[in-house]
Structure formats: structure tokens, C-alpha cells
């Protein structure tokens, strides 16, 4: 699925699948697999959920011209995000309805 990113997008979310590979010497390394760019976190989250794989979502912002970690999908299907104030990874709600409660 190709997502069209407008040229004047203020934020771009990058969803990247995490996979592991074994080097010839037996060392296991983490490498990036499939990825998708999208304009909303919801699209990026859906991409990884549909694949059913662990991965991460980073966000690029026009103002800072930097890419930062936004959220991670664990192998068990749970989502966590980094609280920038405390530096602790916190679980994300499963659905938008849980946020509205």
C-alpha cells in the first residue's frame, strides 16, 4: 500500500518492522525490515498491526528537521511510547475508545 505524503507535510510517521538476523559468527543483530511512511500515527500503527510484527514508529517534524522515536510495538502486540518528561516507556491504549474513557 502506497501512502502519498504531501510536500508540505508538517509531520511524517515512519513505521519500521524489526527483524533479527544471525551473523556467521552466531551473533544475533536487529535489522530493519519493511517500512511505510504515513501522515498519521493511526496509519503507521495499523501497518504494523496488520503485519503482526514487532517494530517502531518514528516521527519527523518540519520545525526541528529531526526524527524522534514515537512508539514501539512489542512482540506480544502491545504498544508503548516514551514519556519525554520521565524517560519511561509507558503502555499505549489499545484503541481510541480507551483514550476517551
Residue 33 CA to residue 15 CA, distance in Å, equals 10
φ and ψ of 43, to 5 deg: -65, -45
**pLDDT tens digit string along 12-38?**
999 999 887 888 998 888 777 888 999
Q: Which regions of the chain does DSSP assign to beta strands (E)?
A: 11-22, 28-38, 55-61, 66-73, 79-83, 88-91
pLDDT at residue number 13 = 94
pLDDT at residue number 6 = 76
pLDDT at residue number 57 = 94
**pLDDT tens digit string along 37-96?**
999 999 999 999 998 888 999 999 989 999 999 999 998 989 999 888 998 989 988 755
Please, are residues 43 and 75 in contact by the beta-carbon 8 Å criterion? no
pTM above 0.85, yes or no: no
Amino acid at each position: 500500500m502506497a501512502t502519498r505524503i504531501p510536500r508540505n507535510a508538517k509531520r511524517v510517521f515512519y513505521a519500521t518492522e524489526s527483524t533479527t538476523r544471525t551473523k556467521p559468527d552466531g551473533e544475533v543483530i536487529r535489522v530493519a525490515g519493511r517500512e511505510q511512511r504515513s501522515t498519521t500515527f493511526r496509519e503507521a500503527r495499523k501497518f504494523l498491526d496488520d503485519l503482526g510484527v514487532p517494530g517502531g514508529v518514528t516521527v519527523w517534524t518540519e520545525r526541528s528537521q529531526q526524527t524522534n522515536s514515537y512508539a514501539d510495538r512489542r512482540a506480544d502486540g502491545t504498544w508503548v511510547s516514551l514519556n519525554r518528561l520521565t524517560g519511561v516507556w509507558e503502555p499505549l491504549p489499545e484503541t481510541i475508545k480507551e483514550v476517551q474513557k
